[in-house]
Structure 1
Amino acid sequence: MTDAVATSDPRPVSGKGGSGHPSFAPRLLTDLLDHAVATWPERVAIDFMGRRWTYAELGSLVDHAARGLQDIGVKPGDRVGLCLPNTPYYVILYFATFRVGGIVVNLNPLYVERELCHLIEDSGCEVVATCDITSIHDKVTKVAEQLKLRKLIVCPISGALPTFKSIGYRIFKRGEIAQVPQDALHVQFHALVASDKKPDPVSVKTDDVAVLQYTGGTTGEPKAAMLTHGNLTANCAQMGVFVEGQMDPNEQQRILGVLPLFHVFALTSILNYGIDNGAELVLLPRFELKQAVDTVARTKCTTFYGVPTIYGALNNLSDKDLAKLSSIQWSVSGGAPLPFDTRQRFEQRMGTPLVEGYGLSEASPIITCNPLGAPPKDNSAGPAFPGTVIEIRDLDDPTKVLPQGEKGEICARGPQVMKGYWNRPDADAQVFVDGALRTGDVGYLDEDGYLFIVDRMKDLIIASGYNIYPRTIEEALYEHPAIAEAVCIAIDDEYRGQAPKAFVTLKAGQSATVDELCDFLRDKLNKLEMPKAIEIRDELPKTLIGKLSKKELVAEEKEKAGRN
């Protein structure tokens, strides 16, 4: 049997390992913008709630913002935190930071003060940009004052809206708009971009760190993946190879940007890839079903990136509303496993492909994806992304590459793999093996090099010494016609050590009891895999991008156990 190693690229790949991927010319992230501005200056670059900016206007604003960053003291290597929802401000300050040689630190605006404080302090940010929404601005200000930051850049939401929407926002949302102090800490965005002086040129290399992307921190404090200019632009080029031939090269893509740009999936697939290809980025600050559907209808978006819960919501649309999405030519799902029936129903109703990809922050993030031009394999995350090597390694001895078809830890090599963790050489030693990135996920490769993910190693349930994969139980539950969402976690069990517990929500208009669900599972799971308990809920905890989250459920169960 051959070792479980898979590569994917239309060009020849010699050998395997770090030098096995094809050559993607190293680029700076600013090269993406400069190329777009020079090639398509009059194309619309950003649409935000109906207000538009061309690539020429975007390039000019980036230069003005870069000058402003230098004027407040940002130097090469300095970290600039972006604590912003999807707005033009994020795009402008993202590229402006690179223009002056800085490093972007992505900060979730929904984080609480304690979480923001840790990330800002850990990264060494001295400048942070945020918006003037009171709930976000006030907590960021408290953190900025506590940590004695140099500057807090405030970006007014009303300033990015079309004229009449801006007036309405200031009237009807005035209670949600922060009163920004006129002090030494705060600098308004309009003041930042006021200078007509060109930014001073700086020296930046493709292997310089561009973004500190913090991991979720579900098993401890978040760590920052150091993604270089070369990492991020390589993943962008890989996407270009991936979609090649799927669209008319003379047609401008219009990409709905509803996933948060501070999340690495959206950062690469929407922002970086979109700018690199002169696309129109249609930005929305958050996912609201009606607003998203109406926005696609208004702008005629051609490309949609989402997570499984978003596609589940779209599947519930009436035929009339779903018809508003007719301009979408293809869609990609990431962030979490895509249930088979969700994909199948979406494709049947839309008549266009929905493919599932897989990746992680440490890989910029994409390492596999089902091809757009061929039927996907059910429940597969697809073959290796162009220029990527996927290896399956032994769970007990990660130095051993396993034969094709055997389950083990998924490992990856490629130009998109991070430089390492920020100030965490101890973590670097654990996450790399023989130069390959360890994903912490369990999976296998089939005879065609398609990756099938079994589960997260950290989610593994060990009952009576046997490995139980929660995803196996979740997939069985999804076969029930009434199940909308399902997650499975480990709970303590006096006899077996651990046992699985499932949490589910039901589809609108559907009903099911716990006993019915248990009967349904009996011929689909073995005795050890059968959940010790099933809990039917109205809703399940989710992350900001809509990914089902287990850590809240684990905490609940631990608290319950502590009370007993």
Structure 2
Amino acid sequence: MDHRPWFDHYEKNTPKTIEIPELTLPQILDNTAKKWPNQRATIFEGAIISYKQLASYVDRLAGFLVSKGLKIGDRVAIQMPNLPQTIIAYYGVLRAGGVAVMVNPMYVAREIEHQLNDAEVKFAIVMDAYWVNLIKPIRDKLMLEHIVVTALADFLPFPKNLLFPLVGKKTGLVVSVEREANVYQLKEIIENRALKPPAMPSDPNATANLQYSGGTTGVSKAAVLSHRNLVSNAYQVQSWFTGMEEGKEVELAALPFFHVFGLTVCMNFGILAGAAQVLVPNPRDIKGMVNLIKKYRPTIFPAVPAMFNAINNFPGIEKIDISSIKGCFSGSAPLPIEVLERFETLTGGIITEGFGMTESSPVTHANPLHGLRKPGSIGIPLPNTDAKIVDLEEGTKEMPIGEDGELILYGPQVMSGYWNREDETELTIRNGWLYSGDIAQMDEDGYFYIVGRKKDMIIAGGYNIYPREIDEILYEHPKVLEAAAIGVPHETRGETVKVFIVVQPGETLTAEEVIEFCRERLAPYKVPRLVEFRDELPKSTIGKVLRRVLRDEELAKSK
């Protein structure tokens, strides 16, 4: 790659390009288990699994799957929160030569049916409650042949493993699984020392994941991600965390593993680095997360802005020592500057804001951890990654510095295409470049700024308005906890701006105050005309505000 302006802002120890080994993800785990066999791989409610144990469990599961007829390339659904079993299942599927299909634990039966049938899934490894309550009732509509179930209590330490079934019945997470044909217990499988794994998968070009997008822009579709894509991104992320010590870090794994952000930046990066992963099955339990930080002293904390914001506002957080955190990665949504500054003050650590997409495994950009960080910027492309801003109409002309256009991306982490959707692949991947659908700018230093999504852009009276800009202004208001702007239909302007606001606890705010605050800081055509206060905003499972849901609600009102 020729010189790029962002190269001048790489940290001293970050190479412009990195050598990415020809390895699969199971080979990465195998290498780590040999390097640090006794290092903690997972910490869950006090129960510890070493890397040596993890690798052996993975091998046994792989041997079992193959014994039941799993062939190379067969798709296997995995549906559970962040548990030790999730990592065992994921790497066990890959170790057997299968393809992982990560399923959101919050999905309802209709969504599960679509995803499993779209991926032509024959095997599933799921939490027992999901099997009993969601999947078994629709089994006759699926292609499933073999199901492996696991209970949340399976990997709890004594006496929690005995107590949880008693207290957990109220949550619906404790169920009774009947013995029946082709339904197996994960705990029994990994305790069977007679199971032997197949030959180690060694083709980095083989498909590792069908990673579903979550459907925030319509019907959920799957990005086809290879071992090369995912291994490359894990190495790229590792190169960015300068100063990290392999085999010694502790990572707080609160980002859901079913999401590509958590999959790469927590699970795969953690295993590559030989880190101990402190598992957080419920990232909405902020009290539990703060207690884990106090107890296990994590050094690395990848998260989304909503998590940083929730910890910032946790009662009494100023008196709690969370200073073990050294490096954080923020993605999936814009990080308000006020949230960043408060969290860094509380921890003494550094947050690097970045950018990624399901289709790019996901990370493509980040601000340097110890270099020049530009507030509001997604940063600069990672090693081996190229990026351009092109015209919105045809996507063929490179735009001048500082002008809006579509962000396009190129690198070893970019998917080959969408599963069984050639038409959408052709629109999204052109000559190897990934067309992101994001409107962005690049400055003279090579730092990129997301202005908005093509589909999010508000057109009011002929003016283009980007909701993110309005959000950023609202987050500056001391009484605003959360905010989101959308465009709503307007008789004369086409669209006008409406904002949804969650007020800080104990505070009061009026629509007039909000509008006046914006009027002082925004051009007249960008100032919200409508304000709605809510107790909470609709969010994805990783805390990303879903503007689409807000828009759909407004459109339903106008009909």
The TM-score normalised by the length of structure 2 is 0.95
Structure 2 residue ranges without an equivalent (≥5): none
Let me know the Cα RMSD of the aligned residues.
Answer: 1.9
Q: Identify the match of residue 145 of structure 2 among 145, 150, 156.
A: 150
| Cross-structure match for 1:356 | 353
Q: 5 Å matches for 1:193-232?
A: 193=190, 194=192, 196-201=194-199, 204-232=202-230
| Cross-structure match for 1:344 | 341
Number of paired residues?
A: 551
Q: 2:58 touches 2:92 (CA, 8 Å); kept in 1?
A: yes
| Cross-structure match for 1:90 | 86
1:376-407 residue CA offsets vs partner (Å, 9 max, x unmatched)? 11111111112111110101120111122111
Quick one: higher RCO (CA 8 Å, sep 6+), 1 or 2? 1
* Mapped partners of 2:217, 2:351: distance in 1: 31
How far the C-alpha of 1:34 sits from its partner, in A, is 0.6
* 2:529 pairs with 1:532: yes
Q: 1:47 touches 1:282 (CA, 8 Å); kept in 2?
A: yes
* 2:493 pairs with 1:500: no
* Mapped partners of 1:240, 1:441: distance in 2: 25
Q: 1:261 to 1:391 in 2, by over 3 A?
A: same
Q: 1:418 to 1:434 in 2, by over 3 A?
A: same
Between 1:430-439 and 1:317-326, the stretch displaced more is 317-326
Q: Identify the match of residue 108 of structure 1 among 104, 107, 111.
A: 104
Between 1:172-181 and 1:155-164, the stretch displaced more is 172-181
| Cross-structure match for 1:520 | 517
* Mapped partners of 2:317, 2:474: distance in 1: 30
How far the C-alpha of 1:124 sits from its partner, in A, is 0.7
1:515-560 residue CA offsets vs partner (Å, 9 max, x unmatched)? 0111111122222212221111111111111111112211211111
Structure 1 residue ranges without an equivalent (≥5): 14-20
* Mapped partners of 2:261, 2:236: distance in 1: 14
Between 1:106-115 and 1:297-306, the stretch displaced more is 297-306
How far the C-alpha of 1:46 sits from its partner, in A, is 0.7
| Cross-structure match for 1:238 | 236
One-letter amino acid of the counterpart of residue 78, structure 1: D
Between 1:144-153 and 1:264-273, the stretch displaced more is 144-153
Q: Identify the match of residue 314 of structure 2 among 287, 301, 317.
A: 317
| Cross-structure match for 1:471 | 468
Question: Which SS does the other structure have where 1:376 is aligned?
Answer: coil
Q: 5 Å matches for 1:385-464?
A: 385-464=382-461
Q: 1:22 to 1:53 in 2, by over 3 A?
A: closer
One-letter amino acid of the counterpart of residue 355, structure 1: T
* Mapped partners of 2:212, 2:342: distance in 1: 34
Q: 1:52 to 1:431 in 2, by over 3 A?
A: same
Q: 2:361 touches 2:415 (CA, 8 Å); kept in 1?
A: yes
Question: Which SS does the other structure have where 2:232 is aligned?
Answer: helix
Question: Which SS does the other structure have where 1:459 is aligned?
Answer: coil
| Cross-structure match for 2:66 | 70
1:137-182 residue CA offsets vs partner (Å, 9 max, x unmatched)? 4102223332141011111111110011111101222353122121
| Cross-structure match for 2:488 | 491
| Cross-structure match for 1:139 | 134
Question: Which SS does the other structure have where 1:200 is aligned?
Answer: coil
Q: Identify the match of residue 254 of structure 1 among 250, 257, 260.
A: 250
* Mapped partners of 2:164, 2:315: distance in 1: 30
How far the C-alpha of 1:219 sits from its partner, in A, is 2.4
Question: Which SS does the other structure have where 2:507 is aligned?
Answer: coil
| Cross-structure match for 1:293 | 290
* 2:3 pairs with 1:31: no
Q: 2:251 touches 2:276 (CA, 8 Å); kept in 1?
A: yes
* 2:115 pairs with 1:119: yes
How far the C-alpha of 1:510 sits from its partner, in A, is 2.1
* Mapped partners of 1:514, 1:555: distance in 2: 22
Q: 1:292 to 1:430 in 2, by over 3 A?
A: same
Q: Identify the match of residue 326 of structure 2 among 316, 322, 329.
A: 329
| Cross-structure match for 1:161 | 156
| Cross-structure match for 1:16 | none
Question: Which SS does the other structure have where 1:484 is aligned?
Answer: strand
Q: 1:77 touches 1:103 (CA, 8 Å); kept in 2?
A: yes
* 2:383 pairs with 1:381: no
1:228-259 residue CA offsets vs partner (Å, 9 max, x unmatched)? 00000000111121112x2345x611101111
| Cross-structure match for 2:166 | 171
One-letter amino acid of the counterpart of residue 167, structure 1: L
One-letter amino acid of the counterpart of residue 122, structure 2: E
Question: Which SS does the other structure have where 1:210 is aligned?
Answer: strand
| Cross-structure match for 1:265 | 261
Q: 2:518 touches 2:528 (CA, 8 Å); kept in 1?
A: no
* Mapped partners of 2:21, 2:167: distance in 1: 50
* Mapped partners of 2:179, 2:63: distance in 1: 21
* Mapped partners of 1:54, 1:203: distance in 2: 22
One-letter amino acid of the counterpart of residue 113, structure 1: A
How far the C-alpha of 1:216 sits from its partner, in A, is 2.5
One-letter amino acid of the counterpart of residue 188, structure 1: Q
* Mapped partners of 1:484, 1:378: distance in 2: 19
Percent identity between the two aligned chains: 37
How far the C-alpha of 1:12 sits from its partner, in A, is 7.4
Question: Which SS does the other structure have where 1:505 is aligned?
Answer: strand
Q: 1:424 to 1:204 in 2, by over 3 A?
A: farther
Question: Which SS does the other structure have where 2:281 is aligned?
Answer: coil
Q: 1:3 to 1:279 in 2, by over 3 A?
A: closer
Q: 1:514 to 1:11 in 2, by over 3 A?
A: closer
* Mapped partners of 1:505, 1:384: distance in 2: 34
Q: Identify the match of residue 186 of structure 1 among 176, 183, 186.
A: 183
One-letter amino acid of the counterpart of residue 166, structure 1: N
Q: 1:11 to 1:61 in 2, by over 3 A?
A: closer
* Mapped partners of 2:319, 2:450: distance in 1: 31
* Mapped partners of 1:248, 1:232: distance in 2: 21
* Mapped partners of 1:197, 1:544: distance in 2: 36
Q: 2:26 touches 2:201 (CA, 8 Å); kept in 1?
A: no
How far the C-alpha of 1:350 sits from its partner, in A, is 2.0
* Mapped partners of 1:72, 1:248: distance in 2: 40
1:163-216 residue CA offsets vs partner (Å, 9 max, x unmatched)? 111111012223531221211142111333325131222654111110111113
How far the C-alpha of 1:501 sits from its partner, in A, is 1.0
* Mapped partners of 2:113, 2:102: distance in 1: 13
1:386-444 residue CA offsets vs partner (Å, 9 max, x unmatched)? 21111101011201111221111111111111111111110111102332101111111
One-letter amino acid of the counterpart of residue 189, structure 2: L
* Mapped partners of 1:109, 1:383: distance in 2: 33
Question: Which SS does the other structure have where 2:184 is aligned?
Answer: strand
How far the C-alpha of 1:136 sits from its partner, in A, is 6.0
How far the C-alpha of 1:318 sits from its partner, in A, is 4.7
Between 1:194-203 and 1:142-151, the stretch displaced more is 194-203
One-letter amino acid of the counterpart of residue 488, structure 1: A
Q: 1:439 to 1:155 in 2, by over 3 A?
A: same
* Mapped partners of 2:405, 2:288: distance in 1: 42
Between 1:173-182 and 1:85-94, the stretch displaced more is 173-182
Q: 2:127 touches 2:150 (CA, 8 Å); kept in 1?
A: yes
* Mapped partners of 1:367, 1:58: distance in 2: 29
Q: 1:148 to 1:261 in 2, by over 3 A?
A: same
